Structure 1
Amino acid sequence: MQAEIQKAMKVLKEGGLILYPTDTVWGIGCDASNIEAIKKVYALKQREDSKALICLVADDRMLKKYVKQIPFAAKSILEVVDNPTTIIYDEAQNLADNLIADDGTIAIRIPDDDFCYWLSRKFNGAVVSTSANISGQPTPKSFKEIAPEVLKGVDYVVNLHRDKNCSKPSSIIKLSNNGVVKIIRK
């Protein structure tokens, strides 16, 4: 796993795209602070850049780097959910402008996955994570379902868990600083 982390990190640092297994589905990833890399993700997915992307961080400490104020309820929510959950936070910071939604929010998940944890930890930063499909196409449930144009469109494909069937995408909860909680995707 360490060799794969090193190879993926090198690509991230160079502004490239990786295809990697996450705690949910196979993802297309890049450095969440690199505007040009994020443009490449939108182009590969043929997705409007007004549709926000999710990013992954290693832990609570890293989350604080990207969100000005983490609502108290966030920790409570993450302690009680039993499936991967992405939270949309207000007041994103220290990320590429084209990753932050027009309303200043950012969708972040702390994955329960060793590869994702160590990649983010050693990279020392947030990593974009968006499903490995062209926008509007079904999310692939396994590596073998990933479209050839996606495979060709990334700079590195992580060589781990290629035989594993993925679960569904994460749940998404919008958690506003004013205390409003809204379920976006179950």
Structure 2
Amino acid sequence: MTEEIQRCIEVLEKGGLILYPTDTVWGLGCDATNSEAVQKVYALKQREDSKALICLVANDFMLEKHVEQVPELAYDIMDLATKPTTIIYDKPKGVAKNLIASDNSLAIRVASDKFCRYLINKFKKPLVSTSANKSGSPTPLTFHEIGADILKGVDYVVSLHQNDKNGQPSSIIKLGNDGAVKVIRE
């Protein structure tokens, strides 16, 4: 795993794209602080950049570093969630501008997968994590369902867990700083 993490970091530091196993489905990833890398993800997915992407962090400390104010309810949701849960926060900071939604929010998940946590901790920056498919196509639930165009479009493919069946996409909940809670995806 150490060698895989090192290879990913080399690609991420150069603004490249990785294809990697996450705590949900296989993800397309890049440095979430690099706007050119984020643009490459939008281009590969053929997705409008007005449709925001998810960002992964390694822990609560990194979350707090990239959100102006984490509502207390977020910690309760993360502690009680029975599956990976992405939370949309108001007023993100320290990430690429083209990663932030037009309403000044950002979807962030604290990764629960061991590989992801180690990678993000070692990289010391959040990663973009979006499903490894073209926009509008079904989300691949296994590595072998990922299209050839996606495989060719990334700079590095992680060789771990390629025969595992991944889970489902995460739940998504929007938490406003005003206390509003909205379930986007269960």
1:169 matched to 2:169: yes
Partner of 1:140: 140
SS at match of 1:130: strand
Q: Give the Cα–Cα distance (whole angstroms) in 2 for the partners of residues 95 and 89 of structure 1.
A: 13
Partner of 2:55: 55
Partner of 1:114: 114
Query: Per-residue deviation at 1:166?
Result: 1.1
Partner of 2:12: 12
Q: Which runs of 5+ in 2 are unaligned?
A: none
SS at match of 1:98: helix
Q: Give the Cα–Cα distance (whole angstroms) in 1 for the partners of residues 112 and 97 of structure 2.
A: 27
Q: Give the Cα–Cα distance (whole angstroms) in 1 for the partners of residues 178 and 32 of structure 2.
A: 26
SS at match of 2:6: helix
Superposed counterparts of 1:70-81, under 5 Å? 70-81=70-81
Q: Which runs of 5+ in 1 are unaligned?
A: none
| TM-score (norm. length: structure 2) | 0.99
Q: Give the Cα–Cα distance (whole angstroms) in 1 for the partners of residues 178 and 27 of structure 2.
A: 31
Paired AA for residue 180 in structure 2: V
Query: Per-residue deviation at 1:65?
Result: 1.1
Query: Per-residue deviation at 1:165?
Result: 0.8
Q: Give the Cα–Cα distance (whole angstroms) in 2 for the partners of residues 61 and 81 of structure 1.
A: 19
Paired AA for residue 18 in structure 2: I
Which 4+ stretches in 1 moved above 2 angstroms? Answer: none
SS at match of 2:99: coil
Q: Give the Cα–Cα distance (whole angstroms) in 2 for the partners of residues 141 and 79 of structure 1.
A: 25
Q: Give the Cα–Cα distance (whole angstroms) in 1 for the partners of residues 79 and 34 of structure 2.
A: 31
